[in-house]
Amino acid sequence: MEAATTYTIGGPLAMAIATIGPGIGIGLAAAAFFNATARQPEVRGPLQGVFFAAAGLIELMALLGFITLFL
Amino acid sequence: MQSHFWEALLYGMPVHVNTLIMVAVALVILLSITRLLTSSISIRPNRLQIFAEMLYDFCRSITFSSAGKRGDTFLYYVGSVFFFVLTCNLLGQFPLKIFELPHGELMAPTGDINVPAALAVGSVIMYFFFGLKAKGLKYFKHYLSPLPDLMAGQSLPVKITYATFFWPFILLNIAEDLTRPGSLMIRLFCNIFVGEILTGVAHSASHYLLPIAVMGIELFVAVVQAYIFAMLTNIYISLLSEDHDHHEDEHDASHTPNEDAKVPSLAVA
């Protein structure tokens, strides 16, 4: 840890910007999931798996932003 | 990044010994649990067997959701991946700091990028294997994917026009074989690695309550990431081993009210 650590604004800023889109995206997906479950409660089981898979796909965008922290 | 790992040379190649230790621990745990659960199989199930059948039903619900009965052919791979990733993720929540290592420290094996990379390559090999097994050499036709559908029943100039404008899709389809394992790998690695960092940050902020809350979130993330990894592997395999000639029959068969149609609901969250 004695190695000189340089802090730059670019990486954290990229991370911060990269979280905006996936946040909105997962929010929309969750809202649609809740609406569908409220209208038709029996659809919850099959939809839950699809929702988590979609959330995982959307989440990848934020994780790519996280990777830019190390570049 | 250097200080995390205990590096050693094996036949001239650097390996991370702490990751190897944790993978071995995960395998031992998995194998012993499997031996325990299947020790007394009988017609009248006892509690252990009911629990094992519950786990099996859960894995089957993953493959059944996208492939129907055809999913039973690759159920063993998807289920194994699910439980291996789940065990690896959950191992990170144990108090591993009490074990002293010469270099580095023990952490969840999926927090080292080599383990997710190996699992992702395994997924690619499996979807190639099942695709080639189901379709033979017709498997490679999916690289041309939008062109044959567009060109069906068109005249020759229209075909040439389509080929002129849509040939980049072939490159995209080939690139998909690289982006699929890449995204699988990055998703799993980053989630677990971020969890480790987050626990460390919470621990440096407060020693008692905050890390517990973060680790609670991590338990949820561990299960969800294992589920997503198995689900996406299953989707890739079932998508690419789908034979269009038999598709209609299976579609009808999946709607008949037999006992297989009753899939237990996914109880993840």
Secondary structure of residue B229 in the 3-state scheme: helix
* Mean pLDDT, range A11-16, rounded to an integer: 84
Closest Cα in chain B to A47: B266
Q: Check pLDDT > 90 for residue A29.
A: yes
**What pLDDT score was predicted for residue B55?**
92
Please check whether residue B93 is in contact with residue B215, taking contact to mean a CB–CB distance below 8 angstroms. yes
Q: Under 8 Å CB-to-CB from B67, ≥6 apart: which residues? A: B74, B234, B237, B238, B242
B81-130 pLDDT, tens digit each: 999 999 999 998 888 878 877 777 888 889 888 999 999 999 999 999 99
Question: What pLDDT is attached to residue B254?
Answer: 47
- Which class is A10-70 in CATH? mainly alpha
Q: How many CA atoms lie within 13 A of B225 on its CB side?
A: 31
Chain A residues with CB under 8 Å of B227 CB are 49, 52
pLDDT one-digit tens code per residue, B108-120: 889 888 999 999 9
Interface of A with B in 3-62 (CB under 8 A): 44-46, 48-50, 52-53, 55-57, 59-60
**Enclosing H/E stretch for B7:** strand B7-10
pLDDT, averaged across chain A: 85
How many CB atoms lie under 10 A from the CB of residue B222? 25
Structural domains counted in chain B? 1
In a domain, B261, yes or no: no
CB atoms < 10 A from the CB of B23, how many?
21
Kindly identify which residue of chain A lies nearest to residue B223, measuring between CA atoms.
A52
Q: Across residues A25-46, what is the average pLDDT?
A: 92
Cβ A60–B183 below 8 Å, yes or no? Answer: yes
Which region, left, alpha or beta, applies to residue B11 given φ > 0 means left and ψ of -120 to 50 means alpha? left
pLDDT value of residue B40: 83
* Residue B239 CB-half CA count within 13 A: 11
pTM of the model: 0.83
Residues 6+ apart with CB under 8 A from B99: B106
Asked if residue B222 is part of any domain, the answer here is: yes
For the segment B168-179, the average pLDDT, to the nearest whole number, is 90
Q: pLDDT band for position B206 (50/70/90)?
A: confident
* pLDDT over threshold 50, residue B258: no
Task: Identify the band that residue B1 occupies on the pLDDT scale cut at 50, 70 and 90.
Answer: very low
> What percent of chain B is predicted at pLDDT more than 70?
89
ipTM, 2 decimals?
0.77
Give the residue ranges of DSSP H helices in chain B.
17-37, 47-67, 75-91, 114-135, 146-151, 156-166, 168-205, 209-240, 247-253
Distance from CA of A14 to the nearest CA of B (A): 16
Which pLDDT value is given to residue A4? Answer: 59
Residue-level pLDDT at A2: 55
Does the pLDDT value for residue B255 go beyond 70?
Answer: no
Quickly list DSSP for B21-52.
Answer: HHHHHHHHHHHHHHHHHTSS--SS--HHHHHH
What residues contact residue B240 under an 8 Å CB cut-off, 6+ apart? B127, B128, B130, B131, B139, B142
CA atoms of B221 and B151, how far apart (whole Å): 45
pLDDT at residue B7 greater than cutoff 60: yes
Q: Which residue of B has its CA nearest to A2?
A: B3
Residues B169-196 have a mean pLDDT of 91
Residue B118 lies in a domain: yes
Q: Which residues contact B114 (CB under 8 A, 6 or more apart)?
A: B16, B19
B255 assigned to some structural domain: no
> In this structure, are residues A11 and A68 in contact, taking their beta carbons and an 8 Å threshold?
yes
Mean pLDDT to the nearest integer, B138-160: 83
Q: Between residues A12 and A21, which one has the greater pLDDT?
A: A21
Domain span at residue B242 reads 2-246
At residue B10, the 3 state secondary structure works out as: strand
Contacts of A52 in chain B (CB under 8 A): 224, 227-228, 231, 268
Residue-level pLDDT at B241: 85
CA B14 to mean position of chain CA atoms: 26
**pLDDT of res. B208:** 83
Per-residue CA distances from B264 to B112, B127, B178, B259 (Å): 34, 26, 34, 11
Q: Is the pLDDT of residue B253 over 60?
A: no
| Average pLDDT over all residues of chain B | 84
Q: What is the dihedral of CA B96, B101, B107, B111, to 10 degrees?
A: 180
Per-residue pLDDT, averaged over B153-179, amounts to 87
Distance CA B17, CA B112 (A): 11
Least confident range of A33-42, B4-13, B34-43, B65-74: B4-13
Q: What is the structure's pLDDT at B27?
A: 95
Residue A3 confidence class, pLDDT cut points 50, 70, 90 = low
